[in-house]
Amino acid sequence: MPANQQFLLDNRPAGEAVASNFKLVSSETPPLQDGQVLVRHHYLSLDPYMRGRMSDSKSYTAPQPLGEVMLGGTVGEVVESRSPRFQPGDKVVGMGGWQLYSVVNADEPGALRKVDTSHVPLSYYLGAVGMPGVTAWYGLVKIIEPKAGETMVVSAATGAVGSAFAALAKARGCRTVGIAGGPDKCRYAVEELGFDACIDYKLHQDAASLSKALKEACPDGIDGYFENVGGMVLDAVLPRMNAFGRIAVCGMIAGYDGKPMPLTCPALILTSRLKVQGFIVTEHMDIWPEALKELAGLVATGTLRPRESVAEGLEAAPEAFLGLLKGKNFGKQLVKLI
Amino acid sequence: MPANQQFLLDNRPAGEAVASNFKLVSSETPPLQDGQVLVRHHYLSLDPYMRGRMSDSKSYTAPQPLGEVMLGGTVGEVVESRSPRFQPGDKVVGMGGWQLYSVVNADEPGALRKVDTSHVPLSYYLGAVGMPGVTAWYGLVKIIEPKAGETMVVSAATGAVGSAFAALAKARGCRTVGIAGGPDKCRYAVEELGFDACIDYKLHQDAASLSKALKEACPDGIDGYFENVGGMVLDAVLPRMNAFGRIAVCGMIAGYDGKPMPLTCPALILTSRLKVQGFIVTEHMDIWPEALKELAGLVATGTLRPRESVAEGLEAAPEAFLGLLKGKNFGKQLVKLI
């Protein structure tokens, strides 16, 4: 059996996550049982939700157990199969974790999915045509329920979720405004991702200043907001929301290190009659086929051209992940493993 | 024409509202024009939303203009009519304001509604079978959407909205828990209003302590919360919400004096996948007939026996209103004018 390399969660962060929370180990992949397949990973996906799993606090899912392989989405190729459902050479997407190979029980529903790489590059199944894309779709279509002519705003605009959100919102005839960090990302959002405007939050010291910039970029107010960040950005958006606005809460990365992150003026939820709703896309598997179909179509026609930030080799995963938490990535953060 | 007495808003509160914000004046009621009726008010309703209108800040409605009669719901009797739609002696509910008489354009949609006092006392049309009752109905039925066996919580539990909420939630097979101020209100909530439990928030110095009491009163967590208060109470409820819980935001009386009232941990909206939605019942007139029918039925059968706190005479209105903002009322706050 081939030699595997794995990153385990060795210890939990005290405050900010650090590289020494992870531990690299070598192991042999075990022999396959009936119904199992061996997958060689081509790409590992790094996503903000992983930070939540590293902590032991009450959250929506069980924490990542210590001493086990860090969880994570992967795309790769079947190299050995004892399942009639998969053949060596099949391209697959699954939750293989931070390692070079994974052994998967192929009969477990949703464990492994064959994908077609004739029109969509394999790595995109971890981003625009994968979990992040479906996340954008669910928040926009099922929570925000946009109407043509409305104004949509998304934070972390050039990330995997934000770029899919822009393409989906533009396809519905909405004015689409991003919030991102730095002039390069903002320029890219407008020139490449189709945003009508993008605000650099790093130019603003406080919520009042950012809110003023939002007012200029959204002259008709904000009808839908897709929240990836929380903290000051949410404080800045809230006063700009129109009556009956909808906020889909997908992430609050600003608070992942345990910093207190209060909402300054929740009374605006009442005075503007807002709907604020949190969600986790893996709890809504029924909408994935419809969402993936639209996203694959947007990619195939070139409407959605997601950017990727690719780290080379499994050893690079921890630093790439810590950078992602600080917004150092530019587009979907991947680790290339082959 | 009869002599009228009126309370005008004389000046806006700087912080806490005070009696000198209001000014009592005498006047003659003007002669009726075609289509107008003269109503003698029997009861004036005092409600927390009035505090919001006294300020000049951006809110969901225009502020109460200075120098004009304070707005407010009233029930009374038609004493003179130049409208074919109303006869002297008709019992009516309307928005007559803080005064003894009002002249109403009877053809204006929704301006005046005839009511039947054979099974429902006239004053109830300002409470359980009026705007507060419909408010409870909308939040429960349209936002929280309760299922039998779920746990519902309401703050300001013995008020007009809270007592209607309890009857409506119990009718749907829910465990119903109140939050109120003081042992008398809590005992009354359980013994007379049908709450399964009621927590005295005055026994708790902080959100953590109140949250612990909620955990004991709601052993299966909270599925629906109707918010009248905000501040510490909302901070205490949020960690007790079950996954996919719903919060109807009707009022945030704790912040009406302009005190900053942050929400300590908005990330719980994400981790518990909550829906938090603000609403104003007068924007949903389509549901009033259905809601009023159910509420009148609950009153007629004795299931809903709302308590009233009655101040005597128009001069008593300012002190009664300021007491209401501090929770000094016990049940629906009215001013008897006849």
Average pLDDT score over chain B: 94
Cβ within 8 Å, pair B249-A270:
yes
Average pLDDT score over chain A: 94
* pLDDT for position A103: 97
Which whole number is the average pLDDT over B206-226? 98
Q: What is the pLDDT of residues A147-190, one digit of tens each?
A: 999 999 999 999 999 999 999 999 999 999 999 999 999 999 99
In Å, what is the CA distance from B87 to each residue of A176, B38, B74, B91?
A: 56, 10, 18, 9
Q: Determine the residue of chain B that is closest to A59 in CA distance.
A: B271
B252 vs A249, A267, A277: nearest CB: A267
* Residue A1 pLDDT grade (very low, low, confident, very high; cuts 50, 70, 90): low
Per domain, the residue ranges of chain A are 3-127+307-336, 131-282
In Å, what is the CA distance from B63 to each residue of A145, A199, B22, B60?
A: 31, 33, 15, 9
Which whole number is the average pLDDT over B142-160? 97
What's the distance, CA B68 to chain centroid? 22
- Higher pLDDT among residues B60 and B125, named by residue: B125
* pLDDT for position B60: 63
Interface list for chain B against chain A, based on CB atoms closer than 8 Å: 52, 58-60, 230, 234, 243, 249-252, 255, 260-267, 269-280, 283
Q: What is the pLDDT of residues B130-150, one digit of tens each?
A: 999 999 999 999 999 999 999
* Residue A331 pLDDT grade (very low, low, confident, very high; cuts 50, 70, 90): confident
* pLDDT for position B119: 85
Q: How far is B283 from chain A (nearest CA, A)?
A: 10
Q: How far is A62 from chain B (nearest CA, A)?
A: 12
Architecture of domain B3-127+306-336: Alpha-Beta Complex (3.90)
In Å, what is the CA distance from B294 to each residue of B124, B128, B150, B151, B159?
A: 14, 10, 21, 21, 19
Q: What is the pLDDT of residues B54-67, one digit of tens each?
A: 998 766 677 899 99
Q: How far apart are CA B264 and CA B235, in angstroms?
A: 6
Does B256 score more than 70 pLDDT?
A: no
* Residue A261 pLDDT grade (very low, low, confident, very high; cuts 50, 70, 90): confident
Q: Determine the residue of chain A that is closest to B259 in CA distance.
A: A265
* Residues of chain A with C-beta less than 8 angstroms from the C-beta of B264: 260, 262
* pLDDT for position A109: 84
* pLDDT for position B1: 67
- Higher pLDDT among residues A315 and B331, named by residue: A315
Q: Select from A253, A265, A276 the residue whose CB has the most chain B CBs within 10 Å, as the one to mutate to test that interface.
A: A276
Does A5 score more than 80 pLDDT?
A: yes
* Residue B116 pLDDT grade (very low, low, confident, very high; cuts 50, 70, 90): very high
**Of A22-36, A125-139, A254-268, which range is least confident?**
A254-268
Q: Determine the residue of chain B that is closest to A263 in CA distance.
A: B263
Q: How many contacts (CB atoms, under 8 Å) link A and B?
A: 97
The 8-class DSSP code of residue B142 comes to I
Q: Determine the residue of chain B that is closest to A49 in CA distance.
A: B271
In Å, what is the CA distance from B152 to each residue of A280, B47, B127, B145, B198?
A: 24, 23, 21, 11, 12
For domain A3-127+307-336, give the CATH number.
3.90.180.10
Cβ within 8 Å, pair B60-A269:
no
* pLDDT for position B9: 97
Cβ within 8 Å, pair B262-A264:
yes
For domain B131-282, give the CATH number.
3.40.50.720
